[in-house]
Structure 1
Amino acid sequence: MTPEEAARVAALGPFFAFEVHPKGSVAPEPWRVLSDLFEPGSGAFAERVAAVRAFLAAGGGRAPEEIEERVAASVTHLGLVSRLLSPVLGCAAALGRIPSLDPERVRWQAELGGTFPLSLPEDAFGSGEDVPLSAVVDGALRPLEAVALPMSVSPHILRGNAASALNGAARAAAHSSSPHADRVRAVASELLDDPYLADAFSDEDGTFRRRSCCLIYRAAPDGAGGLCGDCVLAGGGGA
């Protein structure tokens, strides 16, 4: 993995961008390793949920405790999944290979916002057999689901978040000038076919709709917030 290859992927949009760091190097502050998020004992996921909770509360002129923790946890999970999946799709589309999301070597910075800094090791592609696309499920999606479940967010919602993130990445790429934008949609569709996401969405008549709600509407005063475009509630369903 070279900075030049990373630049080709970044042409798809900011969510696809990442830095490249030397293999075997120690993460300098403020970089953190991804495994911190997956390990409940580290407190990293809980810290991020608290920060997102405060951010959502401030946006509606409310106190953090007025925002349900599970709402902040779901929104946090959606943001993390979107940020992690986009570079994977981008590498597959622009470079033809899937990077390993080894949690001990992938780095992130705990800035608020969907495009928080992310860095992959220069040997993320490895030197042996190619990493299968399905490895993303066990390498990132299941660990993030596991750490969010104790905050009363159902697997149905969390898998809907993952499906929504994949569809959102494809939509974002379509607005770029990259020649690989169409390929992102194809790769996203391949991952959406994974059994892990089988009941997370519908795609009738080419219209993507998740079968759950990310719950962000509940962060608005009196639950009067708007719904996301792919939300099940927008189609009259339930969360």
Structure 2
Amino acid sequence: MDLDPALTALRPLGGYFALRTVADAPRAPSGPLPTLAQTYDRTAPDGSPDPLDLRVRKVAAALRAPEARVAASVAHLGLAARLWSAALGCAVLYGRIPDLDPRLLRWDADAGAPDDLWLTEVRPLPGDTATLVDVVLHGHLEPLAAALRVRHRLATGLLWGNAASALAGAARELDRWARAHGRTDTGARTRSLTAGLFAHPLLRGTGTLTGGAFRRRSCCLYYRVPGGGVCGDCCFTRPPTA
């Protein structure tokens, strides 16, 4: 199935999966939103705030996070979930993915959740594991992790644990949708691609994937948010105490 210019097959899956594209011209950004490439490299348009810092501050205010690194981890998890969801959703439903080159993806860091992404050109690529690795892991999550390590001193293990959690969450949502709609082929392809991605060295040691359940070996720090508790895939069974 060929990609359509509006990636309409993603829309029934929900906001974490859907991508705005050039086909959504009436809803296209009115201003010069930075690309994710500019975000990672800190080369946002002159006069614009640093998008990553803006996002972290926004998350911190919304969650009343006690320190910036907690908000940075949660912001990272949200953006990773958007990238995995869109890419994996296309790979499963179309058998192909759009090129998500960071230079083609514009990001409104000041929007609400889920993160608002706009793909300026739909270029089809193969929907296999190797392409997903190149496009998402190497194209986005490595430079995003590097940027956050410099800005907020987040541990490498935490960041790759977040990436793994985001992938597992996207896969669970796809599998749930497939079951609800009797799409056994979609569920099987989701599980196959997800298993292949978790076999990659960057994700292999992040936790244990059992069916659709994932138990990570690191913590995203969400428990430090007032009333946050622990996530379903956290390495802790209860919030740590001081």
TM tier, smaller: 0.7 to 0.9
4+ residue runs of structure 1 moved beyond 6 angstroms? Answer: none
How far apart in 2 are the matches of 1:205 and 1:181?
Answer: 11
Q: CA deviation at 1:20?
A: 1.7
What CA deviation, in whole Å up to 9, does each residue of 1:20-43 have, x standing for no partner?
216xxx964264322232123542
Partner amino acid for 2:170?
A
1:47-196 equivalence runs, <5 A:
47-57=54-64, 67-125=66-124, 132-135=131-134, 136-150=136-150, 151-176=152-177, 177=180, 179=183, 180-196=186-202
How far apart in 2 are the matches of 1:12 and 1:183?
Answer: 16
Q: CA deviation at 1:9?
A: 2.2
Corresponding pairs, count:
222
Which ranges in structure 2 are unaligned for 5 or more consecutive residues?
Answer: 45-49
Q: CA deviation at 1:207?
A: 3.9
Contact 1:213–1:233 (8 Å) recurs in 2: yes
- TM-score, normalised with respect to structure 1: 0.81
Q: CA deviation at 1:118?
A: 1.9
Q: CA deviation at 1:200?
A: 0.8
Identity of aligned residues (%): 39
Which moves more between the two structures, 28-37 or 13-22? 28-37
Which moves more between the two structures, 116-125 or 226-235? 116-125
Which ranges in structure 1 are unaligned for 5 or more consecutive residues?
Answer: 58-63
Which moves more between the two structures, 113-122 or 40-49? 113-122
Q: Highest relative contact order (Cα 8 Å, sep 6+), 1 or 2?
A: 1
How far apart in 1 are the matches of 2:123 and 2:145?
Answer: 23
1:225 aligns with 2:231: no
1:24-63 equivalence runs, <5 A:
28-29=30-31, 31-42=33-44, 43-57=50-64
Q: CA deviation at 1:188?
A: 2.2
Q: Secondary structure at the match of 1:83?
A: helix
Q: CA deviation at 1:146?
A: 0.5
What CA deviation, in whole Å up to 9, does each residue of 1:143-177 have, x standing for no partner?
11001112121010000000000110111223324
Indicate how the Cα distance of structure 1 residues 205 and 45 shifts in structure 2: closer, same or farther if over 3 A, else same. closer
Contact 2:54–2:110 (8 Å) recurs in 1: no
How far apart in 1 are the matches of 2:188 and 2:120?
Answer: 26
How far apart in 2 are the matches of 1:99 and 1:84?
Answer: 11
Indicate how the Cα distance of structure 1 residues 185 and 15 shifts in structure 2: closer, same or farther if over 3 A, else same. farther
- TM-score, normalised with respect to structure 2: 0.80
Partner amino acid for 2:61?
A
Q: Secondary structure at the match of 2:98?
A: coil
Q: Secondary structure at the match of 1:107?
A: strand
Partner amino acid for 2:84?
L
Contact 1:97–1:131 (8 Å) recurs in 2: no
Q: CA deviation at 1:110?
A: 2.1
Partner amino acid for 1:53?
A
Which moves more between the two structures, 73-82 or 104-113? 104-113
RMSD between aligned residues: 2.9
